[in-house]
Amino acid sequence: MSAGRLLRLVAVSWYLHLKMLHRSMFDSVMQVVWPLFFATTALLVYRATGDRDALSYAATGAAVVTVWTAVSSNASGILQRERAFGTLELLVAAPAPFSLSIMSIVLAVTTTGGYAVAATLLWSRFVFGVHLAPAWPLPFALALVATVFSFGVLGFLLAVAAVRYRAVFALGGALELPLWLACGFLVPVALLPSWLRPLSWLLPPTWGMQAVRAAAAGQSLWADLGLWAGSTAAYAAAAVWVAATVLRSARRHATLSLT
């Protein structure tokens, strides 16, 4: 398949899966409403400090956390959902690269997390009066998108691992809270125990989040973005390799379908 054809496949697949995710009114409303409870809790805690900067820190962190929550809880379940639909075997039996098919579904899930970001930022602005005024608005937005994209890549890795290991479905939920901490969404990585920090450095959202904070403060973000790009590319390459490996293994061990 040519590059153009592959891009079209990702775009069409992303659009149709996004369409599917929005067919349930309940799910759509919950995607926007649920993150507000978390944002409210975080903002109430940080407001008690009386520090306006801390409140802005919490508002940005809470917005990003909601995307990770959406991705971690849904991405690892994508394969299970495809299994339940009976479409997993059809995706594998199709000539299109399997990893691209799954990547586009994860991107659709990540996109729904974007609504949560917007809802959280608006909630922070109008309910808690948090005026987010990043020093460099455009790089700030770019870094935010980069962070969200790295969630998609992590979700992609979780999703493809579920082809062979069904228990990964549970792992996605189990990783939700540790990443909040490890990536410095709500608490700076510098405050973590020194033995834990190398783990944070291995995670692309850590660098994305550091770039977000740097752009907000008017500091250079390019080194952080460089590290984000390198680590994200490494995770994406790992996910493509895992996809090919687990598919071979699934063909050998017959773990594709429920039957």
Least separation in angstroms between residue 218's CB and other proteins is: 44
Q: Taking each helix axis from N to C terminus, what angle separates 204-217 and 137-161, rounded to the nearest 10 degrees?
A: 170
* Structure-token match 């490996």, residue found: 245
* Structure-token match 């939920």, residue found: 173
Which span (9-17, 42-50, 169-177, 184-192) binds other proteins, by CB under 8 A?
Answer: 9-17
Q: Are 252 and 232 in contact (CB under 8 A)?
A: no
138 touches other proteins (CB under 8 A) = no
25 touches other proteins (CB under 8 A) = no
CA dihedral 173, 174, 179, 181 (to 10 degrees): 120
Which residue in the set 39, 91, 182, 221 belongs to the binding site for other proteins (CB under 8 A)?
A: 91
Least separation in angstroms between residue 55's CB and other proteins is: 40
Based on CB atoms, which residue is closest to other proteins, 9 or 187? 9
194 touches other proteins (CB under 8 A) = no
Distance CA 215, CA 189 (A): 17
Which residue in the set 30, 33, 48, 90 belongs to the binding site for other proteins (CB under 8 A)?
A: 90
Based on CB atoms, which residue is closest to other proteins, 4 or 198? 4
Distance CA 140, CA 145 (A): 9
Based on CB atoms, which residue is closest to other proteins, 101 or 120? 101
Which span (67-75, 87-95, 161-169, 212-220) binds other proteins, by CB under 8 A?
Answer: 87-95
Based on CB atoms, which residue is closest to other proteins, 87 or 220? 87
Distance CA 57, CA 78 (A): 32
Task: Output the CA–CA distances (angstroms, integers) from residue 123 to 11, 188, 216, in the order listed.
Answer: 31, 23, 19
Counts for the chain of helices (H) and strands (E), in that order: 10, 0
Distance CA 33, CA 50 (A): 26
Burial of 57 (0-12, 13-18, 19+ CB in 10 A): buried
Instruction: Please count the residues of this chain forming the interface with other proteins, following the rule CB under 8 A.
Output: 30
85 touches other proteins (CB under 8 A) = yes
Within a 13 Å sphere around the CA of 45, how many CA atoms are in the beta-carbon half? 11
Q: Are 139 and 216 in contact (CB under 8 A)?
A: no
Least separation in angstroms between residue 179's CB and other proteins is: 30
252 touches other proteins (CB under 8 A) = yes
Based on CB atoms, which residue is closest to other proteins, 125 or 251? 251
142 touches other proteins (CB under 8 A) = no
29 touches other proteins (CB under 8 A) = no
20 touches other proteins (CB under 8 A) = yes
141 touches other proteins (CB under 8 A) = no
H-run or E-run covering 254: none
Q: Applying CB under 8 A, which residues contact other proteins?
A: 1, 5, 8-9, 12-13, 16, 19-20, 23-24, 84-87, 89-96, 101, 251-254, 256, 259
